[in-house]
Structures are given as structure tokens and as C-alpha cells.
């Protein structure tokens, strides 16, 4: 990959919060491109005429910055770079390596002419910890692997591929940004993806919680990947693992689920009662952050295409900053209930195909039971279909994630 892919949605978000009196925090799983996004934004400031002296970029994993790991040294260094009458942009990458960094940010935050942007490894800086350390003084965006549109841009630099073939590779090999530096499906690419997975496993899961051990974590992750798109609970998982010989309590599983979602390896989708209008506790769905990991978690990497596309759609809605839940309508399920930033709601069903009358009726059933007037949409891999079923719209899934069709 010769050129950096411009990750427009994140750059736009940073632009919207530029010079706002908040610390901008980029969170996300390892190797999703948080540092690169900061560099791209710093470059965009330079292109607008911001002088280099007003841009301070520090990566705290670089040896030359080791002396700044002392919080007093760091604060003194940053304070000396303030310029009266001008805004100085501080980009602090891997800030968690500075012990007591929150005190540095607190002191810097109250100064005039300061605009702060930080990233942190999920090994030491989870979202829940940020909320405690920077209460009321920050705004956060979650950085995810490449969207399908970004993957097309990255792949088209090296291959002449149509969208269908690109989609096949997307659900097969995942979309970690640096994986696109390798030939798709090559041994080098597989080794890279596995190394990222192993790092997350060792540093974000096993290092932070030791009571269960590697076998329990391996079994739990295997269950979660095999259950993508299915409702589950800590008790249900504990019962299944215990039945398979790994005796474990629901409380232990619950704590591991929190750790796994805090590391952004999986995302949790809460369950929502469409008719009653309330969140249903205990049962949830979980979706894998990058589908390339499935080969290193499962002994048998075969996953149903329905699970894969549901995972892809969930991640796409998260990238577009919808609030995403799964829905229940009486005794039937709605794959996703999504809410945009203006409060608008949509109901989404995801189906490999609705070509047969039986399958179409099955997907329509729960949507027809919803009596409000919010949009109802079926996303399918079908190329040929009737676009409208009594107000329920059908959209090709690849057209949607490639940006050719806007569900709004």
C-alpha cells in the first residue's frame, strides 16, 4: 500500500471538534490505525497553513521520547511549546505509557490556546478507564478496521478487482489496515493477522485477567465466534463451557465478556423490546471486530455466510455512528434497531437471500408486526428482488456498504 488511505469519517469528526474545549480521544482495538489518523489530521492542519511550531506530535513508544515518560518532564516540555495568541495542537500518541498522564492533561487542558488529541493502547486505556480519568473533559470516537469503502480504495492500488470479489476477500481476510500491505491471502498476510490476534490475546486479555487462564479464554472466544448473531448470556455460555469440561461460573464469564468488549475485540449489541420500548437485560449478541481473526480462534474456520454478513452490517452501522441494538417484537426477532444522532430510528433485517417466497415471508414477518412509521429495510446479497413490500424496502447489502445506496 503506497499511499495512506484518507479515513474521511474520522478526519471529519476530528475537524468538527477542532479547537473545541474538549480532549479528543481515539480509542479502538490494536492496529486499527489510530496513530495514522492523528498523523493524517496533523497533515491536514499543515495543508491549511498551520505552522509546524504549532503542531506537537509525540509517540510515547519511541525511544527518543523516553525522557518524557516522567509526567513532570512531559508537562514542562509541553508548556514550553505554548505560543501566546496562537493555538498549539498537541497530538499525544500512546499516552498510557506516561504514568499519571491524566494529571498532565488536566494541567494542560486549562491553558489558553491548547487543543489536545490523544490515543491509547487498549491494554492500558480502556473506554471505561477514560471515563474515570477524564470525566467531563473529553469526547471519544472509536476507530475500527477499514470499512468496505476504505478496503476497496486500499486494494485497488494493487489489484484490479470488482466489488463482489473485494467483498469475498473482505469477509474472508478481514480489514486490518496494515494487512493491505500484503498480497491478499498470502502467508505473510496471515502471519501478520495472527500476530495482531496473539498480541491482543496476550496483552489485553490474559495479562489483565489471570484467574481463568488461556484454556478458558480460548474456549470462550471460540464460543463467541461460533455464536455470532445469536442471542446469548453469561449464564448460557458458562453452562455450555461447563458441559464441555471447562467448569466456570457465570460471574467469571461476565467479567471476561466485559474485558473482551473493553478491548474492542468484540462489540456487544444490547437487546431492545420494540413494543415495550425498553432494554432487555441478560441476553445480548456479540460481533467480532475483524473477521480475519476467525481462522485463529476456531479450529474449524467455517462460519455460515448469514453470520458473516450480519457481523459486517453491525460494524458498518457502528462506523456510521448509529446506536445499534437487536430487537424483539413479541416472539420474533429484528436483527438491528438503529438510531442516528438526530434520534431517527430504523429497523433492519439482514438476509443472505429473499429470493424464495418462504424466505421473504420469514424476513418480513417481524417487520410487519411493528406498528410505528419508522423505516423498515431488508439488506440482502440478492441482485434481483422487488424493492418494496408494502413500505418495507429491500436493498443490496454490497451496494449499501460500498456507498452506492443510502438507506436514508
The whole-angstrom separation of Cα 166 and Cα 151 is: 8
**pTM for the whole thing?**
0.94
Give the model confidence (pLDDT) of 351-399 as tens digits: 999 999 999 999 999 999 999 999 999 999 999 888 899 999 999 999 9
- 8-142 is classed CATH 3.90.1170.30: no
Q: What is the pLDDT of residue 179?
A: 96
**Three cell numbers written together for 305:** 455466510
Give the CA distances from residue 153 to residues 5, 6, 20, 148, in Å, rounded to whole numbers and listed in that order: 7, 9, 31, 9
Give the model confidence (pLDDT) of 206-247 as tens digits: 988 878 789 999 999 999 999 999 999 999 999 999 999 989
Match 490494536 to its residue by C-alpha cell. 30
Q: What is the pLDDT of residue 96?
A: 87
Residue spans of beta strands (DSSP E) within 249-295 = 266-273, 278-288
SS3 assignment, position 119: strand
Closest to 117 (Cα-Cα) out of 210, 205, 42: 42
Q: What is the pLDDT of residue 280?
A: 75
pLDDT at 159 over 80: no
Length of the chain in residues, anyone?
408
Residue 17 backbone phi and psi in degrees, to 5 = -100, 5
Give the model confidence (pLDDT) of 22-44 as tens digits: 999 999 999 999 999 999 999 99
Q: What is the pLDDT of residue 4?
A: 85
Closest to 250 (Cα-Cα) out of 202, 212, 210, 215: 212
Min mean pLDDT across 5-19, 72-86, 158-172, 332-346 is at: 158-172
Give the model confidence (pLDDT) of 164-204 as tens digits: 899 999 999 999 999 999 999 999 999 999 999 999 999 88
Domain ranges of the chain: 8-142, 148-268+285-300, 323-401
Highest mean pLDDT (candidates 3-12, 128-137, 162-171, 308-317): 308-317
Give the rounded percent of residues in the chain with a pLDDT score beyond 70: 95
SS3 assignment, position 127: helix
The whole-angstrom separation of Cα 225 and Cα 254 is: 16
Q: What is the pLDDT of residue 1?
A: 40
Min mean pLDDT across 120-129, 265-274, 371-380 is at: 120-129
Min mean pLDDT across 51-65, 218-232, 273-287, 310-324 is at: 273-287
The whole-angstrom separation of Cα 298 and Cα 228 is: 12
Answer yes or no: are the C-beta atoms of 246 and 238 closer than 8 Å: no
Amino acid at each position: 500500500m503506497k499511499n495512506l488511505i484518507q479515513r474521511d469519517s474520522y478526519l471529519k469528526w476530528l475537524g468538527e471538534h477542532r479547537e473545541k474545549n474538549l480532549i479528543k480521544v481515539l480509542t479502538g482495538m490494536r492496529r486499527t490505525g489510530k496513530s495514522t489518523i492523528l498523523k493524517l489530521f496533523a497533515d491536514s492542519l499543515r495543508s491549511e497553513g498551520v505552522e509546524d511550531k504549532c503542531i506537537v506530535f509525540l509517540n510515547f513508544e519511541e525511544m527518543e521520547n523516553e525522557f518524557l515518560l516522567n509526567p513532570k518532564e512531559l508537562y514542562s516540555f509541553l508548556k514550553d511549546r505554548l505560543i501566546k495568541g496562537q493555538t498549539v495542537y498537541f497530538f499525544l500518541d500512546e499516552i498510557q505509557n506516561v504514568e499519571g498522564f491524566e494529571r498532565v492533561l488536566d494541567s494542560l487542558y486549562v491553558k489558553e490556546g491548547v487543543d489536545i488529541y490523544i490515543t491509547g493502547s487498549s491494554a492500558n486505556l480502556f473506554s471505561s478507564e477514560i471515563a474515570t480519568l477524564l470525566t467531563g473533559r473529553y469526547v471519544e470516537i472509536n476507530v475500527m478496521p477499514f470499512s468496505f469503502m476504505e478496503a476497496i480504495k486500499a486494494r485497488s492500488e494493487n489489484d484490479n478487482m470488482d466489488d463482489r470479489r473485494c467483498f469475498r476477500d473482505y469477509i474472508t481476510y478481514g480489514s486490518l489496515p496494515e494487512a493491505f500491505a500484503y498480497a491478499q491471502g498470502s502467508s505473510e498476510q496471515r502471519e501478520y493477522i495472527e500476530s495482531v490476534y496473539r498480541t491482543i490475546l496476550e496483552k489485553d486479555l490474559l495479562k489483565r485477567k489471570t484467574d481463568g487462564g488461556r484454556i478458558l479464554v480460548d474456549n470462550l472466544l471460540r464460543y463467541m465466534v461460533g455464536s455470532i448473531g445469536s442471542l446469548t448470556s453469561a449464564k448460557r455460555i458458562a453452562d455450555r463451557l461447563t458441559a464441555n469440561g471447562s467448569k466456570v461460573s457465570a460471574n467469571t464469564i461476565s467479567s471476561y465478556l466485559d474485558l473482551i468488549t473493553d478491548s474492542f475485540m468484540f462489540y456487544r449489541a444490547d437487546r431492545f423490546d420494540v413494543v415495550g420500548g425498553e432494554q432487555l437485560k441478560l441476553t445480548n449478541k456479540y460481533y467480532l471486530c475483524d473477521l480475519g481473526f476467525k481462522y485463529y480462534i476456531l479450529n474449524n474456520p467455517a462460519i455460515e455466510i448469514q453470520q458473516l454478513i450480519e457481523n459486517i452490517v453491525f460494524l458498518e452501522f457502528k462506523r456510521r455512528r448509529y446506536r445499534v441494538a437487536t430487537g424483539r417484537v413479541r416472539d420474533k426477532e429484528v436483527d438491528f434497531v438503529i438510531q442516528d444522532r438526530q434520534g431517527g430510528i430504523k429497523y433492519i433485517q439482514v438476509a443472505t437471500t429473499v429470493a424464495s417466497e418462504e424466505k421473504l415471508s420469514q424476513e418480513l414477518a417481524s417487520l410487519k408486526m411493528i406498528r410505528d412509521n419508522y423505516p423498515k429495510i431488508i439488506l440482502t446479497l440478492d441482485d434481483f428482488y422487488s424493492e418494496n413490500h408494502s413500505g418495507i424496502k429491500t436493498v443490496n447489502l454490497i451496494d449499501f456498504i460500498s456507498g452506492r445506496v443510502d438507506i436514508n
